[in-house]
Amino acid sequence: MTARISHWIDGKPYSAVAERTGDVYDPATGEVQAQVDFASEADVAEAVAAAKRALPGWRATSLAARSRVLFAFRELLVARKDELAKIVTAEHGKVESDAAGEIARAIENVEFACGAPQLLKGGFSENASTGVDVYSIAQPLGVVGVISPFNFPAMVPLWFAPNAIACGNTVVLKPSEKDPSAANFIAELFAEAGLPAGVLNVLHGDKVAVDGLLEHPDVKAISFVGSTPIAKYVYETGTRNGKRVQALGGAKNHMVVLPDADLDLAADAAVSAGFGSAGERCMAVSVVVAVDPIGDELVAKIAERIKGLRVGDGRRPSSEMGPLVTAAHRERVQSYVDAGVESGAALVVDGRTVDADGAADGFWLGPTLFDHVRPEMSIYTDEIFGPVLSVARADGYAEALDLIHANPYGNGVAIFTNDGGAARRFQNEVEVGMVGLNVPIPVPVAYYSFGGWKDSLFGDSHAYGPEGFHFFTRTKVVTSRWLDPSHGGVNLGFPRND
Ligand code: NAD
């Protein structure tokens, strides 16, 4: 008997029997370890109804009481972060130290949300007109949906849920069906922290659940993170249905290495950012752009480091890189390696024959390095989302920038150089949302906001930070006058500020 993972609705596990379920694998052994319930339309309605019932009470809860729940949740998360990391590793496959990193960044978002009383302050203008005061207030949107991807099963839900809740909304979270348990653990911790039933609900499933949220009239906003085609679909469908939507999509992140860079540091960074989490990060470096004449030397240094990487079961402390999330994803990534060879790229390190420290049936694929990758090759055009690093050559800074600009994605980018002038020019010119200067994975801290440009984000608001608070509230501006006898008299003219 495999374990069952059910929805979390109205502060408790949902007991109704699911008509459809999905397999949840242990990627390091290849075994099915659980079945996750897939929501029907009726289940979507139950989750949204629970969130709607909880809304009036939560919206009216004082700022102090709301932030106290968030502080308590933060303490519980810190106390139980190792357990959560193990849950992430068991279903996603990433090594435990990497899962711990994901949770550390998630905690920073909870800490940010704890500042809600300060962040929700509006403006106030006394005497905007004689005897008239004007002020703004930020109010919650209502029931909001959060739809998250498989690659950060703890962090991405916590990019959104704490801020949405802090702002007085109630939430239906639809996590990835590939690694659903982290979301339930988070919901249980929130309940233990004192969050009232129905404020955070977890609804598992696939397209039926997503479409149900996109179409439900009581869902006022959607925060989505996933691949670009689905992000576009979610944005178009959600906005057509009158919802506020932020939909973060895929990526193809470039790392430019200028000839003056320290090539050892650049090679360290390329390998860390290319193969961490087996390349299953939207901020992974997938293309290194080596600017002439350092290409051969840089590729040699990257290859040398890759050969030392230890691939194995994420639960073993010696493992540096775990398996891919599913067998199907592993096959897809391997097919890109095959296509890269066929298209004439130089295969410098072949991960297809990796000797992993783990069970034979795990979803293993070793780190792979291609050199002389051209923009027309599918390993360059497509987001592979696996441990495949491409090196493209450029004859100068301008060609490197052109390559980045010709790419449809604009999530993250990095430049490695010791030339401050070149770095400053790059940060000004590059059309990408998150830029690293000698920093390969420039994920903004929680008090900035996260978001790409171009096909990496649909909508106006970036995720978390100040833009997260902006997304989860709508403002009202109040113009007030407390009458005294001096205000008498009819005047049909447009109100002037005298
Ligand atoms: P995905 O698009 O397959 O799934 C994301 C979510 O959408 C999941 O909850 C899934 O159940 C749902 N979904 C899948 N297919 C659907 C469909 N046809 N209709 C409606 N809903 C559907 O993405 P994934 O494979 O889970 O995650 C990897 C992708 O996410 C990569 O492209 C990666 O770059 C991207 N990502 C982006 C960011 C970012 O911040 N920009 C962060 C993390 C991941």
Q: What is the CATH number of the domain that holds 13?
A: 3.40.605.10
- Residues 97 and 223 reside in one and the same domain: yes
Residue 492 lies in a domain: no
Residue 10: per-residue pLDDT: 98
Per-residue pLDDT at 413:
98
Q: Is residue 172 part of a domain?
A: yes
> How high is the pLDDT of residue 486?
75
pLDDT given for residue 484 in this prediction: 80
Instruction: Please identify, by atom number, the ligand 1 atom nearest to the C-alpha of residue 456.
Output: 41
One domain for residues 462 and 383: no
Q: Would residue 486 count as lying in a domain?
A: no
Q: 10 Å Cβ neighbour count for 17? A: 8
Global pTM? 0.97
Which pLDDT tens digit goes with each residue over 461-477? 999 999 999 999 999 99
Whether residue 362 sits in one domain with residue 412: yes
Q: How many residues does the chain have?
A: 498
Copy the structure tokens of residue 363: 């979803």
Sign of the dihedral through C-alpha 276, 280, 282, 285: positive
pLDDT computed for residue 176 by the predictor? 98
Residue 395 pLDDT: 98
| Residue 355, domain extent | 253-437
Answer yes or no: are the C-beta atoms of 453 and 285 closer than 8 Å: no
In a domain, 489, yes or no: no
Question: Which residues of the chain fall short of a pLDDT of 50?
Answer: none
Q: Terminal CA-to-CA distance of the chain, rounded, Å?
A: 76
Q: What is the pLDDT of residue 429?
A: 98
- Kindly give the pairing relationship between strand 409-410 and strand 453-454: antiparallel
- At residue 313, the pLDDT reads 98
**Residue with CA at minimum distance from ligand 1 atom 18:** 207
Residue type, 26: D
Task: Indicate whether 290 and 432 sit together in one domain.
Answer: yes
Please, which residues have CB within 8 angstroms of residue 480's CB and are 6 or more apart in sequence? 132, 133, 134, 135
The residues, any chain, with a CB within 8 Å of residue 241's CB and separated by 6 or more, are 214, 215, 217
> Is 282 a residue of the active site?
yes
Of 103, 282, 388, 430, which residue is the catalytic one? 282
Same structural domain, 238 and 278: no
Do 471 and 384 lie in one domain? The reply is no
What's the pLDDT at 487? Answer: 73
Q: Which residue's CA is minimally distant from atom 10 of ligand 1? A: 176
Q: Are residues 372 and 237 in the same domain?
A: no
Same domain, 139 and 104: yes
Q: Which atom of ligand 1 is nearest to the CA of 234?
A: 20
Q: Measuring from atom 42 of ligand 1, which residue has the nearest CA?
A: 282
Claim to verify: residue 91 and residue 68 sit in the same structural domain: yes
pLDDT value at residue 498: 80
Query: Chain centroid to CA 361: how far?
Result: 29
On whether both 200 and 274 belong to a single domain, the answer is: no
Which pLDDT does position 178 carry in this prediction? Answer: 98
Q: Are residues 317 and 423 in the same domain?
A: yes
Tell which one of 214, 230, 241 to mutate to probe ligand 1, the residue whose CB is within 8 A of the most ligand atoms. Answer: 230
Residues whose beta carbon lies within 6 Å of some atom of ligand 1: 147-152, 156, 174, 176-177, 206-207, 210, 225-227, 230, 248-251, 282, 383, 385, 411, 452, 456
Whole-angstrom distance, CA of residue 109 vs CA of residue 156: 10
Q: Does the CA dihedral 278-284-286-292 come out positive or negative? A: negative
Q: Give yes or no: residues 391 and 245 share one domain.
A: no
- Give the Cα separation of 316 and 314 in Å (integer): 5
ipTM: 0.98
Ligand 1 centroid–CA 376 distance in Å is 25
Torsion of CA 131, 122, 54, 113, to 10 degrees: -160
